[in-house]
Structure 1
Amino acid sequence: MRFVRLGEPGRERPAVIDDHGLTRDLSALAPDIDGAFLEGDGIARTRRALTDGSLPVLDGKGLRFGPPVARPGAVICIGQNYAAHAAESGSEPPTRPVIFFKPSNTVVGPYDEVRIPRGSTKTDWEVELAVVIGRRAQYLDSPEQAIDHVAGYTVSNDVSERAFQLEHSGGQWSKGKSAATFNPLGPYLVPAGDVPDVQNLRLRSFVNGEPRQDSSTSDMIFSVAQLVHDLSQYLVLEPGDVINTGTPEGVALSGRFPYLRPDDVMEIEVEGLGRQRQALAAA
């Protein structure tokens, strides 16, 4: 079962792709796939509706894929959560999770155009596993408890402008992370229960068809459960919030690859969660 949102920006229709590959309309069950849907037991209600056959088939051919979660209230990002990526960035692996935020208006669909900001010279790609929160999480007692607050997982491209992030930053990273279109998300939201081992998923990225990143979530310094637990000690995670869990080595910041230019094409994928493709254009 994979949740999707289909249609033009701001007019996406909620849908689910069933185990037979049929796309089924969720509009009668919920107005959108958002925090209210997730908190209101929307995933379980969808499973029941699929079992009783009450969801009509939707002809999604030719429809745009939007982000699979409607405008998250917060996009919380984890920095340097893979030791090899920290090393290629010139840093020691962190001993506590490093966090920064992206505005929700960075979130676009998985095949939407990504716009290189004005003045950019160092736009970069980052394939990431994204966690979608399903229940309000605050002061959780343990990582084991934390995982029960996860609704599901999707693919995220934490696009970054490294000069803005590191040279113009004033000590914070968000200047290099916050340009419009800088967080393609999707194509699917896969329920947590349908991902047998979230800490053993292959992540890969490509630019113009050439391989860049190739790693596994097994190399994460802080696991999904650890991240949700740790974050809940400092902030309140709301249903529909997205956590980008960090990127592995193989980005342009390493010096091994050129930065992105207009007309380049990024492709990123996470095993079992789908594949994205974005063309680059000047803002």
Structure 2
Amino acid sequence: MKIITYELDGRAGVGALHPDGGAVDLTEAGDALEIASNPQARARAERLMADPARRIPAPLRLRAPFAPRSFICIGLNYMDHVKESNAQTPARPVVFAKFANALAHPGDAITWYADVTQQVDWEAELGVVIGKPCYRVSKEEAMAYVGGYTCVNDVSARDIQLTDSAKQFTLGKTLDGFCPVGPCLVTTDEIPDPQNLAIRCRVNGTVVQDSNTREMIFDVATLVSYLSKFMTLMPGDLIATGTPPGVGMGMKPPVWLKDGDEVTVEIERIGALTNFCRVR
């Protein structure tokens, strides 16, 4: 099931994309996380999907499918991205965080001030959503705690993250709106193998990243298990699993997002997440 959160005529609701096109209202079944991870809510949603009267009239505005409880990000998790970053291959996952202010919805403008950063970069990433409390689980157990998947754009201010004298890694990652999420939350039954998904990023229609999640250094099960050794993962935690090669920083010369640019993250079986850029 591809679960969405939407706005229509000033009203917020929860729905799902219908295989035949359009969307179905599932608000009565619960929120997106409940439908993805709670069997009873999922059963109610399945019944509602079959009701033609639940179809949502177009047009509707998509929102982020859920509000992450925490944003847990993984760096340097594709080998070719390690090389383009002139970094060493990590022996264990590189972990950092974004904050709640970074959340952006599908179609939102990614906005920054020119006196704060002039080197804004894109990063297409598979988002893994935790579905139930998870602490000190093995790699073999880890996938049972995943509730679904989504697209993430880990937007990054490289001049703050890397070249500022203080190397403010977190600060450069968590400007307002620097983490678009969406367009939907896809349940795990629709993605039995998250390590075989095409992942792309396009800027103004030009493909800049084109890879597959099989190229991850640390796969989803390893990441969930590793993180759970240090912290209790809870429903709604979002793990951004790292970006493949093709970021602007790695180009010769570097290419940065600019005012008016359109950036799209697209992942097989999930869909496309598109945002526009605005510089003030």
Above 0.5 in TM-score? yes
| Residue from 232, 253, 272 that aligns with 2:269 | 272
Q: Determine if the alignment matches structure 1 residue 223 to structure 2 residue 222.
A: no
Query: Offset at 1:53?
Result: 3.9
For 1:85, the equivalent position in structure 2 comes to 81
Matched residue SS, 2:29: coil
Q: Determine if the alignment matches structure 1 residue 75 to structure 2 residue 74.
A: no
Query: Offset at 1:51?
Result: 6.7
Query: Offset at 1:127?
Result: 0.4
> Do the aligned residues in 2 keep the contact of 1:38 with 1:135 (CA within 8 Å)?
no
Moved over 6 A (4+): none
Matched residue SS, 1:153: strand
Query: Offset at 1:226?
Result: 0.5
For 2:180, the equivalent position in structure 1 comes to 184
Q: Distance in 1 between matches of 2:97 and 2:112?
A: 19
Structure with the largest fraction of strand = 2
Matched residue SS, 2:92: coil
- Note closer, same or farther for the CA distance 1:183–1:196 as it changes in structure 2 (3 Å cut): same
Query: Offset at 1:249?
Result: 0.6
For 1:166, the equivalent position in structure 2 comes to 162
Q: Distance in 2 between matches of 1:43 and 1:147?
A: 20
Q: Determine if the alignment matches structure 1 residue 101 to structure 2 residue 100.
A: no
For 1:4, the equivalent position in structure 2 comes to 4
> Do the aligned residues in 2 keep the contact of 1:135 with 1:149 (CA within 8 Å)?
yes
> Do the aligned residues in 2 keep the contact of 1:7 with 1:13 (CA within 8 Å)?
yes
RMSD of aligned residue pairs (Cα, Å): 2.1
Query: Offset at 1:44?
Result: 2.7
For 1:260, the equivalent position in structure 2 comes to 257
Q: Determine if the alignment matches structure 1 residue 33 to structure 2 residue 32.
A: yes
> Do the aligned residues in 2 keep the contact of 1:43 with 1:191 (CA within 8 Å)?
no
For 1:251, the equivalent position in structure 2 comes to 247
Q: Distance in 2 between matches of 1:230 and 1:163?
A: 30
Task: Give structure 2 stretches of 5+ with no counterpart.
Answer: none
Percent same amino acid at aligned positions? 36
Matched residue SS, 2:129: strand
> Do the aligned residues in 2 keep the contact of 1:116 with 1:262 (CA within 8 Å)?
no
For 2:200, the equivalent position in structure 1 comes to 204
For 2:20, the equivalent position in structure 1 comes to 20
Query: Offset at 1:93?
Result: 1.4
Q: Letter of the aligned partner of 1:200 in structure 2?
A: N
Query: Offset at 1:238?
Result: 0.8
Matched residue SS, 2:260: coil
Query: Offset at 1:216?
Result: 0.6
- Note closer, same or farther for the CA distance 1:198–1:23 as it changes in structure 2 (3 Å cut): same
Q: Letter of the aligned partner of 2:163 in structure 1?
A: E
- Note closer, same or farther for the CA distance 1:170–1:41 as it changes in structure 2 (3 Å cut): farther
What's the TM-score once normalised by structure 2's chain length?
0.92
> Do the aligned residues in 1 keep the contact of 2:121 with 2:158 (CA within 8 Å)?
yes
Query: Offset at 1:171?
Result: 4.8
> Do the aligned residues in 2 keep the contact of 1:101 with 1:174 (CA within 8 Å)?
yes
> Do the aligned residues in 1 keep the contact of 2:26 with 2:49 (CA within 8 Å)?
no
Q: Determine if the alignment matches structure 1 residue 134 to structure 2 residue 131.
A: yes
Query: Offset at 1:58?
Result: 1.8
Q: Determine if the alignment matches structure 1 residue 56 to structure 2 residue 54.
A: yes
> Do the aligned residues in 2 keep the contact of 1:153 with 1:192 (CA within 8 Å)?
yes
Query: Offset at 1:46?
Result: 4.3
Q: Distance in 2 between matches of 1:174 and 1:98?
A: 13
> Do the aligned residues in 2 keep the contact of 1:18 with 1:50 (CA within 8 Å)?
no
For 2:110, the equivalent position in structure 1 comes to 114
Task: Give structure 1 stretches of 5+ with no counterpart.
Answer: none
What's the TM-score once normalised by structure 1's chain length?
0.91
Q: Letter of the aligned partner of 1:81 in structure 2?
A: N
> Do the aligned residues in 1 keep the contact of 2:32 with 2:185 (CA within 8 Å)?
no
Q: Distance in 1 between matches of 2:204 and 2:75?
A: 26
- Note closer, same or farther for the CA distance 1:51–1:252 as it changes in structure 2 (3 Å cut): closer
- Note closer, same or farther for the CA distance 1:167–1:278 as it changes in structure 2 (3 Å cut): same
- Note closer, same or farther for the CA distance 1:46–1:179 as it changes in structure 2 (3 Å cut): farther
> Do the aligned residues in 2 keep the contact of 1:82 with 1:249 (CA within 8 Å)?
yes
Equivalent pairs counted in the alignment come to 277
